[in-house]
Amino acid sequence: MNEPILELEGLTKVYPGGLKALDDVSLSIRPGEIFALLGPNGAGKTTLIGAVCGLVRPSSGRMVAFGHDLATDWRKARARIGLVPQELSTDMFEPVIRAVSYSRGLFGLAPDPARIEEILRSLSLWDKRDERIMALSGGMKRRVLIAKALAHEPDLLFLDEPTAGVDVELRKGMWAIIDQMRARGVTIILTTHYIEEAELMADRVGIINRGKLLMVDEKDAMMARLGRTEAHIALAAPLAVLPQALARFPVELEEGGTSLCYRGGDGTGKGKAEVAELTKALVAEGIDFTGIETRESSLEDIFVSLLGEGEVAA
């Protein structure tokens, strides 16, 4: 197992005024992974990124990146970290290529026009290199911010809500870009409140709410552990009681016995197989049915239920 690329221990941030944006957050990021930090607005995602990137001063806790303590040895660590902020903040009067070259220099690297060209081409910005950033569309401006963050060839890249307010097509383009970066071996931590994005891109998912990291797990493991299959079978004739032959399935009668509801499985497809078995059992018992509706619970359901638990706990 590779050493973690970033380790947070007991990270806490209390803003003046008492708002606890981060509450004892501990997290390890592995090299090469895409980690999605999922949470509603105001959950603490941006504060967490800000703390690692030097924009926010943590109240307590320890942060180690690439083996360097970020409190003392921050120069070496930050040289390898890139940040794409949520807001489209950049010098709008600058031409694209100059803005990107500046970022490389700011991080202490020698000019490398070939590398800058490669980055701009990979983000389809090469044709726009001499245009002022203010003249670009919103999607392109965001790509400029990514190019700026990649200019110093970081090993760890933070993408803060990379697809917030971006239309569907651009969002897909952004996912392709993230894939490209993963292929290059860049470790990516992305924050999002689009669950679909986390489901599609991430290797691991962390769920954060009210500054607390509620759960961190492999996306597939999380789905397996907390995922469910739900099937509704419309019966041709209502049943008064559940036949003994169906007792081995997690089913119950609903809607006055006209619908048989299955709730089971684990998010790995086991539920679907069991529903197939259930239908065979119904046929064997001579119970006629007129329709089947199945639904796999998504990361979204897991997310909502976890947040719900959090609310109760709070």
Among the listed residues 240, 243, 206, the one whose alpha carbon sits nearest the alpha carbon of residue 221: 206
User: Using CB under 8 A as the criterion, what x/- string covers residues 148-177 for binding another protein?
Assistant: x-----------------------------
Considering the complex, state which of residue 119 and residue 223 has its C-beta at the smaller distance from another protein: 119
Considering the complex, state which of residue 22 and residue 213 has its C-beta at the smaller distance from another protein: 22
User: Using CB under 8 A as the criterion, what x/- string covers residues 44-63 for binding another protein?
Assistant: ---x--x--xxxxx------
Q: Does 210 bind another protein (CB under 8 A)?
A: no
Question: Which residue carries 């994005």 as its tokens?
Answer: 197
Considering the complex, state which of residue 29 and residue 223 has its C-beta at the smaller distance from another protein: 29
Binder of another protein out of 110, 247, 284, 312 (CB under 8 A): 110
Q: Does 273 bind another protein (CB under 8 A)?
A: no
Binder of another protein out of 1, 75, 284, 314 (CB under 8 A): 75
138, 166 in Cβ contact below 8 A? yes
What is the DSSP pairing of strand 204-209 with strand 60-65?
Answer: unpaired
Q: Which parts of 88-107 interact with another protein (CB under 8 A)?
A: 89-93, 98, 102-103, 105-107
Binder of another protein out of 45, 78, 128, 219 (CB under 8 A): 78
Considering the complex, state which of residue 81 and residue 299 has its C-beta at the smaller distance from another protein: 81
Binder of another protein out of 32, 59, 69, 109 (CB under 8 A): 109
Neighbours of 144 (CB within 10 A): 25
Contacts with another protein: how many residues (CB under 8 A)? 32
Binder of another protein out of 76, 184, 248, 295 (CB under 8 A): 76
Q: How far is the CB of 119 from another protein (least distance, A)?
A: 16
84 contacts: CB under 8 Å, gap ≥ 6 = 142, 145, 146, 148, 149, 157, 158, 159, 160, 162
Binder of another protein out of 108, 138, 165, 238 (CB under 8 A): 108
Q: Which parts of 15-44 interact with another protein (CB under 8 A)?
A: 15
β-bridge partners, 189 = 35, 158
Among the listed residues 291, 95, 299, the one whose alpha carbon sits nearest the alpha carbon of residue 215: 299
Sheet holding 289-296, edge to edge: 251-254, 259-264, 229-235, 289-296
Could you list the residues that contact another protein (CB under 8 A)?
15, 47, 50, 53-57, 74-76, 78-79, 81, 83, 85, 87, 89-93, 98, 102-103, 105-110, 148
